[in-house]
A and B are shown apart, each in its own frame.
Chain A
Amino acid sequence: MPSAPFAVASSPHILTGNSIRRLMFSVVIALAPATVLAVVFFGVPALRTILFTLAFCLLFEAVLGTRTSDGLSWKEVVGDGSGAVTGLLLALNLPPDSPWWVAAVGALVAIGLGKHVFGGLGRNPFNPALVARVVLVIAFPVQMPAWRAPFQPVDGVTAATALGVLKADGATAAASQFPLWNLYSGQVPGCLGEVSALALLAGGIFLLARRVISWHIPVAYLGSVAAVTGILWIVDPGRFASPLVHLGAGGLMLGAWYMATDLVTSPLTRKGMLIFGAGCGAITCVIRLAGSYPEGVSFAILVMNALTPLIDKWTHPVPAGRRVPRPETA
């Protein structure tokens, strides 16, 4: 005979066994190749940046998350893994030699302002790591663009990124200084996560295979960037960089596979995701090609995050029973 009383719970009594933690863990694994490469290219300073950012993010998550999570313990809050993913993504948005206090401020902005101020998990309208990145870029104009070429020692001289050269000196200069293999394998200066497009792509495909994300946002985002830049490049290859350069440079790979696909801040429906991805692509191109900033990914995604509730409303599915005429009354 059973020893405990029976639980009278609502149906269904079996659940899939999937969990937020499993989703988050998959993202961390997907980012692992790019993270490892970043440490390989930029050395101990990079490892320090990553660890500090992660630590501060988890700390703020534990402190603030217990206040916004309806009674979960700090272990449960940290245990859902979302703080760790934000931490890793934020770290990958930082230059390799970031001081610890840049990591700390970034973590506070990401976890505090980007997430818990809105009510915690599932309630934030903007991608927390991007909110932090944008705040840091504007607040610390010296530390944030402190790029260094891979394998170079820290020497206080800022190296130029591919998109920086593209904006300042044009397409031909960019193409000659940054051959495609370098761009895609990651042997270029930039933020930690902006280097190896191939490693990021591999992680993205892993996420697709594990069904953590679907193809709609990445394909729509990358596809629209490729289409716009492709057309322009065909028309005037001297003036515009090729779509391959655009896809491999800057934060586009990181953005398309890991930031734009953030579950909370992107649309619910597949149709909405396509609109979202295309919008991100359009804005990224406008900023890269016509704006004064060399990179537009962060701003593009944040703008589309703001539009996500509207997109969800536009793409709200019609229930099956309303797609047919109403019944006559008996």
Chain B
Amino acid sequence: MSLSPPSSPKGPPERSRRRRTFPRGGIDVREHKERTAHLPVETIPPPAEVVIPMAQHFGVPCEPVVQRGETVRKGQLIGSTPAPFAADVHASVAGKVKAVGPHVHPSGFLVESVTIETEPAGETEPALPPVDPGDRAAVLRRIREMGVVGMGGAGFPTAVKLNPPGNKPIDTLLLNGAECEPYLTADHRLMVEDAPRVLEGLRVMRTVLGNPRAVIAVEDNKPDAADALAELVGDDPSIELLVLKTRYPQGAERQLIESVLGRTVPSGGLPMDVGVDVQNVGTAAAVADAVLRGRPLIERVLTVSGDGVRQPKNLRVPIGALYGDLMEHCGGMTEDASRVIMGGPMMGKAQPTVHVPVTKGTSGILVLTPRTARPYRELRCVRCGECLRVCPQGLVPTELAVLAEREQFAALTEIMDCVECGACNYACPANRQLVQWIRFGKVEYRNLQKKKRHA
């Protein structure tokens, strides 16, 4: 399947209605990105303390390897596990370990975490020597040991993702620069300000994957990001830059693959089943730092925004910084702030407190007021059909929700295809909490399948 030619490096790609997008569903949401899209990333001074969870990735949590009272250097290993489905965790500041124990975590669970009291004059762990990108095993080991995981939110251990099984050959490395959630501009600024690091990472990852074709996908609401990348890509025929239509959820893996390559990931399958490896642009930059500069993943760019924060900003923060400390750098929260969200407004997770740490997958912190996160009344489904028309996965959300509500879990055979993007919920005129019902249905359906297997 051929791609459209790369956008010209000489001029800005025009916002065109004919830009590629995924074939079904999706919604056009008000973006609110203008608040922060042009603000350069600010590096904050190290906060007084950081709380670094042992679980920041999809897979097995790490075990702490430091104790209370220990002095740690910035970048020092503080958590590890021998399990293959994991990545190491490092101190993002130099200081003294104040506590090792359960702490509030954005997932809503209490997670084992290492709390470090910052000592600004503390030492930094020396950088490791660069790894030869051609030495595949060494590169994968370095990526894991430097703690690199998917930074788009899911936190999949990158070393595992770059090492698919032999019967799943990869012919395309797809870099995800879509950032389709409203308000968030972290990846946008990374691409504008740090495009060389992104491309370095892309080249390393491509080598590890055996040199497939590489594509970088960007939404057309970020023409300056596309320009910055286009200039660096230049006339390199092995890397294509594709500017996609701005539509939610363009950045969802499955939809991105459909937009870029026209391939559909099968139900129950993964991108590698159609020969694709998708990586976030932030992850690519972190891979470059790990492999080429021997530095662990201890900081990230995120967007603090929303109508409940006085000065929305893009910040570069150490992993483990608490939301409350970040709010101070953004003019504080407004009186009527009513919701604190990790991530974007469509799929982000609401937090009960600002005493929550930033993790490797935290791309944004939103503070909303009742003006944007409006109170609503959930009414009955009136069978308008909007939900199924906006569903990018081709499901019937109202049916899934009603079946879950009525506890007919065995009938939920399609429910695992839902990616919980929230488009259905957003579009519903009855304000039905479709995503919540579907999440509930998934849990029950999985339990049912487990029972069947053990029967």
Contacts and interface: CB of A to CB of B under 8 A. Distances in A.
Contacts of A269: 385, 388
Given A13-B368, A19-B431, A20-B429, A268 B388 contact: yes
B426 interface: yes
A264 interface: yes
Contacts of A155: none
Contacts of A80: 379
B422 A264 contact: no
A68 to B, nearest CB: 9
A328 B274 CA distance: 11
B396 A14 contact: no
Nearest to B438: A10
A224 B196 CA distance: 61
A322 B24 CA distance: 14
A324 interface: yes
B83 interface: no
A290 interface: no
A16 B333 contact: no
B435 A18 contact: no
B428 to A, nearest CB: 8
Q: Please classify how large the interface on chain B is, using the bins under 10, 10 to 19, 20 to 34, 35 or more.
A: 35 or more
B15 interface: no
A22 B429 contact: yes
B347 A15 contact: no
Contacts of A20: 379, 382, 429-430
B234 interface: no
B339 A9 contact: yes
Interface string A303-330: 0000000000000111111111111101
A7 B427 contact: no
B269 to A, nearest CB: 4
B348 interface: yes
Nearest to A308: B383
A76 interface: yes
Interface string A1-14: 11111111111111
A274 to B, nearest CB: 13
Contacts of A286: none
Contacts of A320: 24, 254, 258, 264, 392-394, 417
A168 interface: no
Interface string B22-57: 001001010000000000000000000000000000
Given A9-B339, A20-B429, A326 B269 contact: yes
A8 B288 CA distance: 37
B336 to A, nearest CB: 7
Contacts of B392: 320
Given A13-B345, A317-B388, A7 B382 contact: no
Contact of A327 (B182, B270, B372): B270
Contact of A15 (B182, B267, B308, B425): B425
A32 interface: no
Interface of B: 24, 27, 29, 108, 164-165, 167-168, 182, 254, 258, 264-270, 273, 308, 332-341, 345-353, 366, 368, 372-374, 376-377, 379-385, 388, 392-396, 398, 414, 417, 420, 422, 425-431, 433, 435-436, 439
5 contacts: A2-B333, A6-B352, A8-B350, A13-B341, A327-B270
